[in-house]
Amino acid sequence: MTLRMQRQRLQKKLANLLEIPDDIVLDLPRITLLGNMQMLVENHKGIIEYTNKNVRIRLKRGELVLVGVGLLLGNLQAEELIVEGEITELRFVE
Amino acid sequence: MVSIEEEFSLLSFRLSNYFRGFLVVKITGQTLEKFINLCIHKGIYLWDIKRLEDAIIAKIRVEDFRTIRPIIRRAHCKIHLVSRYGFPFFLYRMRYRKMLIAGGVLFCVCLYMLSSFVWFIETVGLISLPEEAVLNAAKQAGLKSGTTKNKVDVKLVEHTLLVQIPEIAWVGVTLKGTKAVIEVAEKTVVRVEDKSPAHIIAAKDGLMEEIIALVGEAAVQRGEMVRQGQLLINGALVPKVKDFAGNLVPVPDSPPQLTHAQGIAKARIWYQAYGESGLMKQIDRRTGRIFTHIVLKVGQVEKIIKDGLVPFGYYETEEAYKRVPSWRNKHIPVESKIITFYEIELQEAPLTVDEAREEAKRMAFEKLQHQIPEGVQVLNRNIEVLKTAETDIVRVKVIVETLEDIGQIQKINSTQ
């Protein structure tokens, strides 16, 4: 655990030094929200659960839990994913 | 936050989907998330995914439908085709509607063929030439409605028009779609003056104020009273010679020299009219009660919205038109006509002598207005109140003096 944190810190320093965006070096998801009606997740790792009220998206570390009403998967690709509907809650789970 | 680029890519995405065709499928099973993840992994593109209780409905490309089968099997799901969209399926359906396609093709062919004819011929710039003359000449050169466009030799038509109609200075023929426009510039032809022998006679009675003979001989003098039809400038000149005393005398037995008399013949003319007015006057007064008719007009069709018998004995009418404002050059042929009837009351009001005189004057001037031609120089106005034995009536005589050119051309008969 500490080893991983150290490595992450090192990577972050390197990213700052080379002025590379953090999300590329650290393999983080880039999430764009359009109000509460649309969410674009880039760099996701798949879907764990999908229902009308609940979408769980796997990230590199942990998962992203979305709660809402009438959720749709608008666009499903290897790189990006769009969730449409009324989003009420957004939560990161380790 | 959808940028233009994304918007465009969305449009092109939709277009490509339409042309390649896509399917709406329903996938049932317990491990639907696994199926979705496998699809992402294999690069199978799914969109508009909707969750039902125990199934998902998604859109998928036609070519992916084949490769999705092993994934379905691996995820222990079942797939059903719900519907098919897109151009390929449209074509597929059209296979059974050959006449529809034939009709479409026929329409295109007809449109193409009809557009290769000249149907309308328009002329621009004609002032005095009759349009038919130009159209007839164009017809002879091969330009008439119903000929194919490639048979019309524009140069030939222009040349023929120039040769056949000498009044044309320049002509340009252009074909615009199914319309041929003949643009014409006419020569300005010098008007031929009337040289036939003529006298100038008086058109009205009057007192000669100015007489100048430009061609011919003045027959009257300034200050002379003339009657209507009297000779003013003589166009038939009798040759004259000087006698020993220096006076001009006519040459005996020589035929008169005939000319077209020209000149200015101005005379004073008097017009007079009477007016009278009693010392009581009728006044029309609106009572304030109104009644309306409404008519709506669309194109040539009139639709009465409200009418009925006018419930007044005496009334005045006013008509008002309202139409839809025209937009650009398009005129919308809708208008409404509102006729308003105002009830009036007839009242008698006493007049003072001054008012009665004014009224009588007004009446007299009104009568004069019909007699005096427009635009003449008015020299003098004379208003005279006539004295009468009656006390309840005022009579007025108005005399207007004008200066007018009373010259009128009268042709001389050569037999005379």
Name chain A contacts of B56, Cβ cutoff 8 Å.
50
Distance in angstroms (rounded) separating the CA atoms of residues B9 and B29: 33
| Per-residue model confidence (pLDDT) at position B300 | 78
CB B302 within 8 A of CB B312: no
| Per-residue model confidence (pLDDT) at position B27 | 92
Closest CA in chain B for residue A52: B51
Overall size of chain B counted in residues: 416
A41: pLDDT strictly greater than 70: yes
pLDDT band for position A35 (50/70/90)? very high
CB-CB under 8 Å, A71 with B40: no
| Per-residue model confidence (pLDDT) at position B304 | 84
| Per-residue model confidence (pLDDT) at position B257 | 81
Overall size of chain A counted in residues: 94
Least Cα distance to B46 among B31, B55, B36, B54 occurs for B36
Number of C-beta neighbours around residue B251 at 10 A: 9
| Per-residue model confidence (pLDDT) at position B416 | 45
Q: Which two tokens stand for residue A81?
A: 């994913």
| Per-residue model confidence (pLDDT) at position B5 | 55
pLDDT band for position A1 (50/70/90)? low
Residues in Cβ contact with B99 at an 8 Å cutoff, skipping those fewer than 6 apart: none
Of residues A67 and B374, the one with the higher pLDDT is A67
Spatial strand order in the sheet of B315-323: B301-306, B280-298, B334-350, B315-323
- Which one of A75, A82, A84 makes the best mutation probe of the B interface by having the most chain B beta carbons within 10 Å? A75
| Per-residue model confidence (pLDDT) at position B175 | 87
The answer to pTM > 0.80 is no
Q: Chain B window 27-86: which residues touch A at a Cβ cutoff of 8 Å?
A: 32-33, 36-37, 39-41, 43, 45-51, 56, 58
Of A48, A71, A75, the CB nearest to B47: A75
Least Cα distance to B38 among A65, A46, A57 occurs for A46
Amino acid residing at A53: K
* pLDDT digits (tens), chain B, 416 positions: 445 555 557 788 888 888 888 999 999 988 888 888 888 888 888 888 998 888 999 999 888 888 888 888 888 889 999 999 888 888 888 888 888 889 999 999 999 988 888 888 888 888 888 888 888 888 888 888 888 888 888 888 899 888 888 888 899 998 888 888 999 998 876 777 777 888 888 988 899 988 888 888 888 888 888 998 888 888 888 777 777 887 777 777 777 788 888 888 899 999 888 888 887 777 788 888 888 888 888 877 888 887 778 888 888 888 888 877 766 666 777 888 888 888 888 888 787 888 888 888 888 888 888 888 887 888 888 888 887 777 778 888 889 899 988 888 888 875 44
Of A50, A71, A78, the CB nearest to B33: A50
